[in-house]
Amino acid sequence: MVATAVRRSGLRNGVATVFVVGSTAAVTTIEFEPGAIADLNAVLEALAPRDADYQHHLRWGDDNGSSHVRAALMGPSVGIPFVGGALVLGTWQQIMLLECDTRARRREVVIQLVGE
């Protein structure tokens, strides 16, 4: 999606910001392979366990307090430079939308390009 947006824009050099709307999802970069994904999930479970007690649960009567914490730790956006009309990413580096919520959600992703 992001590479296509850059190509279609006609811009050659700049920065693509990728932002997910909502407080229970995140955007990051990672080598998208099963081992790295398992490792990321293990770290998130250690930092914000699903079965922990969250004040958010008490306030709203739901079960996604861990989702809010995980998304806040990861962040809702990344900025990726592009040069010569192509994203500057490492060989195995990919942009990833991480759904942190406890139920399926439809997500809006905003791509904003600044450049020349």
Cβ within 8 Å of residue 70, ≥6 positions away? 24, 26, 44, 47, 48, 98, 100
Domains of the chain and CATH, by start: 2-115 (2.60.120.460)
Per-residue pLDDT of the chain (116 residues; tens, 9 = 90+): 999 999 999 999 999 999 999 999 999 999 999 999 999 999 999 999 999 999 999 888 899 999 999 999 999 999 999 999 999 999 999 999 999 999 999 999 999 999 99
Q: What tokens does 87 get?
A: 């994203």
Alpha-carbon span 72 to 38, nearest angstrom? 19
Q: Is 65 exposed, middle or buried (0-12, 13-18, 19+ CB in 10 A)?
A: buried
The DSSP bridge partners found for residue 96 are 28
Look up residue 104 and give its DSSP letter.
-
